[in-house]
Amino acid sequence: MHKTSILIAMLAIFGVHGAAQDDAQYQTWMKSMQPTVGAIRNAADNAAAAADATKLADTFGKVAIFWKAKNADDAVKFAETARDAAKAIAAGSGDKAANLQTIQRTCGGCHSAHRGGAAPNFTIK
C-alpha cells in the first residue's frame, strides 16, 4: 500500500513538472514566431524566405502536437493551417503575402481563444 502511495505521488509530481516544462517550451515557441514572421515578411520573395518559413512550419507543427495533447481541436486546426501556409512559402507555392495573412489570421484566432492575461505576462488558457 505504501509503495502504491509513493508511486502515485511520484507520478503526480512528474506529471505537473512535465506540464510546466511543456508550457515553458510552448512559450519559447510563441516568442520565436514574431521575429520569424518578420523575417519572412521582409524577404524579397519565397526563395529568400524559405529557411525562415521552414523553421516557422516546424514550430507550428510542434504547437499542433502541444494542443493535441490538451484536446483543443480548434487550436490544433489553427496551428495546422498556419503550418501549411508556412510550408507553402517554403516550397515557393502561392503568394507569400496571402500566406502570411493566413498565418497572422490563425495566430489571432488562437490567441483570442487560448491566450489569457496581458503582456508581458500572457498565460495559456
For 55-67, write each residue's pLDDT tens digit: 999 999 999 999 9
Q: What is the DSSP letter of 78?
A: H
pLDDT tops 50 at residue 10:
no
Q: Where are the domains of the chain?
A: 33-115
Strand partners, 124: 115
Predicted confidence (pLDDT) per residue in 26-59, tens digit: 999 999 999 999 999 999 988 999 999 999 999 9
Q: What is the pTM of this model?
A: 0.82
Q: For residue 119, what pLDDT band results from cuts at 50, 70 and 90?
A: confident
Phi first, then psi: give them for residue 4, nearest 5 degrees. -65, -40
